[in-house]
């Protein structure tokens, strides 16, 4: 799916008539590893819709496909291992893959606290 999104984004971006915005949601996931970072420190400042930065960590000793998720330069956790392979591959290829917060929940289980989506922005032709 991510490969198709990247191809569509590239082909649509090359047309000069493209101006409006659209996005293809590639995946929606809970944030992995939140409990191991200082997310609690920035929790009160985070908002649904906030942009997240995806940072590849190919040298990560636990997972060569690791993709760290940062909020305003603060590491929060990772794209879950089960979901990171295609995202890692696309980032490695230079695709403009983006992420944002879609749900914040006060929960004891750290896997339920932050939900985010990964997407590709598309430019679409105006009618």
Walking along the chain (127 residues) 10 residues at a time, the average pLDDT comes out as 47 47 89 88 94 97 97 95 95 94 90 93 70
The residues with which 120 forms a beta bridge, in sequence order, are 24, 97
Is the residue at 9 inside a domain?
no
Q: What pLDDT does 109 receive? A: 85
Q: Is residue 87 part of a domain?
A: yes
Whole domain around residue 33: which residue ranges?
24-120
Q: What is the pLDDT of residue 122?
A: 81
* 17 in any annotated domain: no
Whether residue 84 lies inside any domain: the answer is yes
pLDDT attached to residue 124: 67
**Count of structural domains within the chain:** 1
Q: Is residue 101 part of a domain?
A: yes
pLDDT at residue 118 in the model: 97
Other beta carbons less than 10 A from residue 91's beta carbon: 20
Helix (H, G, I), strand (E, B) or coil at 96: coil
DSSP for residue 31:
P
Q: Is residue 16 part of a domain?
A: no
The pTM (predicted TM-score) of the whole model is 0.79
48: CATH: 3.30.70.2330
pLDDT at 27 (0 to 100):
94
pLDDT of residue 72: 95
Nearest-angstrom CA–CA distance, 111 and 55: 19
- pLDDT of 20: 53
Residue 67 in contact with residue 54, Cβ under 8 Å? yes
In a domain, 4, yes or no: no
| 61 within a domain of the structure (yes/no) | yes
Q: Give residue 97's pLDDT.
A: 94
């Amino acid at each position: 799916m991510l490969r198709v999104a990247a191809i569509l984004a590239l082909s649509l971006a090359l047309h000069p008539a493209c101006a409006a915005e659209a996005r293809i949601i590639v995946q929606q996931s809970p944030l992995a590893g939140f409990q191991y970072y200082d997310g609690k420190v920035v929790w009160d400042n985070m908002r649904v819709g906030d942009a997240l930065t995806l940072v590849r960590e190919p040298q990560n000793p636990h997972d060569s496909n690791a993709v760290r998720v940062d909020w305003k330069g603060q590491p929060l956790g990772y794209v879950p291992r089960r979901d990171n392979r295609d995202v890692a591959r696309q980032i490695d290829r230079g695709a403009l893959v983006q992420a944002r917060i879609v749900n914040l929940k006060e929960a004891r289980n750290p896997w339920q606290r932050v939900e985010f989506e990964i997407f590709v922005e598309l430019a679409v032709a105006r009618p």
